[in-house]
Chain A
Amino acid sequence: GAVVSQHPSWVICKSGTSVKIECRSLDFQATTMFWYRQFPKQSLMLMATSNEGSKATYEQGVEKDKFLINHASLTLSTLTVTSAHPEDSSFYICSAGVQGNYGYTFGSGTRLTVV
């Protein structure tokens, strides 16, 4: 149980375009989801906390207008990288809080390459 599905696993896009990444909790309801960014050989940096039905809470230094987060249902949160640039290339990972069993389950990540 407690599976988080992240899609796509990898994506290549052109500079200036937008990319949407989906994070789904498959067998549980997730009121809270988190979005992380990971540069090569580095740790995970929290970008934002996504709460179902409300606005996301962004970490300091993260541009909310560039990284749009939507958490419209208890099983789906999306991250849209708008007007992507090569410096946005990174590994993005989501995680979800598991109700009834305090803990976090992570998606398998999305490798974004902007060319």
Chain B
Amino acid sequence: AQSVTQLDSHVSVSEGTPVLLRCNYSSSYSPSLFWYVQHPNKGLQLLLKYTSAATLVKGINGFEAEFKKSETSFHLTKPSAHMSDAAEYFCVVSAPGGYNKLIFGAGTRLAVHP
């Protein structure tokens, strides 16, 4: 069975400061991991994905995440927050290969203040 836990339901940062959104996963085998962003009343946009290649994954809009097997973590970071980063972020786990169903975390709402 697979699951994902997002450790913070809300994160608030000032514009220009670093962003850290935490995610821990549980999987009985090597998982595929994703981060998605959702703006209000919109669909989801893929930020980045880990599929057993490099453990440090770079995504769009300056985001990156590091897969740490020993810590079962896949935290999302960005060096400098922008106002447009304010949104809901979902950490997602899936079984590797094929088109397996995605298991979503509860989400983290990121607020960015001027």
Assembled-state Cα–Cα distance A105/B106 (Å): 19
Are B99 and A42 in contact, CB atoms less than 8 angstroms apart?
Answer: no
Are B101 and A43 in contact, CB atoms less than 8 angstroms apart?
Answer: no
Are A104 and B43 in contact, CB atoms less than 8 angstroms apart?
Answer: no
**Which A residues are in CB contact (< 8 Å) with B104?**
43-46
Are A97 and B99 in contact, CB atoms less than 8 angstroms apart?
Answer: yes
Whether a CB of chain B sits under 8 angstroms from the CB of A31 is: yes
Are A43 and B106 in contact, CB atoms less than 8 angstroms apart?
Answer: yes
Interface of B is mostly: loop
**Which A residues are in CB contact (< 8 Å) with B45?**
106
Assembled-state Cα–Cα distance A108/B98 (Å): 23
Q: How many A-B residue pairs have CB under 8 A?
A: 52
Given the known interface contacts A43-B90, A43-B106, A43-B107, the answer about A106 and B99 at a Cβ–Cβ threshold of 8 Å is no
Interface of A is mostly: strand
Given the known interface contacts A42-B106, A49-B101, the answer about A109 and B49 at a Cβ–Cβ threshold of 8 Å is no
- Interface size, chain A (Cβ < 8 Å): 24
**In the complex, per-residue mask of A20-38: 1 if CB is within 8 Å of any chain B CB, else 0:** 0000000000011010000
Are B101 and A46 in contact, CB atoms less than 8 angstroms apart?
Answer: yes
**In the complex, per-residue mask of A38-71: 1 if CB is within 8 Å of any chain B CB, else 0:** 0000111110010000000000000000000000
Given the known interface contacts A31-B99, A34-B102, A46-B102, the answer about A106 and B43 at a Cβ–Cβ threshold of 8 Å is yes
**Which A residues are in CB contact (< 8 Å) with B46?**
103-105
Q: Nearest Cβ in chain A — how far from B111, in angstroms?
A: 14
Are A93 and B44 in contact, CB atoms less than 8 angstroms apart?
Answer: yes
Q: A31-B99, A93-B43, A97-B98 are in contact. List 11 more A-B contacts (CB 8 A).
A: A4-B43, A34-B102, A43-B90, A43-B106, A43-B107, A49-B101, A97-B99, A103-B46, A104-B102, A105-B46, A107-B43
Supply 16 A–B pairs (Cβ within 8 Å), ascending by A: A4-B43, A32-B99, A34-B101, A34-B102, A43-B104, A43-B105, A44-B44, A44-B90, A49-B101, A95-B102, A102-B51, A102-B97, A103-B46, A103-B49, A106-B45, A108-B43
